[in-house]
Amino acid sequence: MSDKLYVRNRAQKVLFEKEISGQLSDGNWENEKTDRRLWNCEVIIADEEQELGANWTVRYYADFATGDLDFLWDRMIEYVRPIDPDYDVDQLIIDLNDLTEIVYGWEED
């Protein structure tokens, strides 16, 4: 079985593939013990019959909406604008918070 991550929408797919996976592998969290399976998993927009999240138990928690990445927000917004011209920072924060919950299914204490 290949590693798959089911997300809620196209924006989340773009954000994960173009930015978040790279930040996990060799960016903001490169010195942490991130789950390497997240670096190369297939990202799929879930349909009604699929549950959101990874098809394995993800190890290590990272907050994708952390202020540590706010310098990248303009770039992330530009990644999504071709599919949603009105995409803005408010929607980005919503999607990043949602992605964090989708991937980890729990919050760090």
pLDDT digits (tens, 9 = 90+) for 31-72: 566 667 788 899 999 997 778 988 888 877 778 888 778 899
- Asked if the structure places residue 109 within a domain, the reply is no
- Asked if the structure places residue 98 within a domain, the reply is yes
The one-character DSSP state at 1 is -
Residue span of the structural domain in which 75 resides: 4-104
The residue-averaged pLDDT of 25-30 equals 61
**Which stretches of 1-108 are DSSP H helices?**
10-15, 21-26, 73-80, 89-104
What is this structure's pTM?
A: 0.86
pLDDT class of 29 with cuts at 50, 70, 90: low
The phi and psi torsions of 42 (rounded to 5 degrees) equal -80, 125
Q: What is the pLDDT of residue 88?
A: 98
What's the total number of domains in the chain? 1
Query: Residues 6 or more apart from 31 whose CB is under 8 A from it?
Result: none
C-alpha distance from residue 109 to each of 22, 75, 78 (Å): 25, 30, 32
- Asked if the structure places residue 24 within a domain, the reply is yes
In 3D space, the residue among 65, 62, 2 whose CA is nearest the CA of residue 30 turns out to be 62
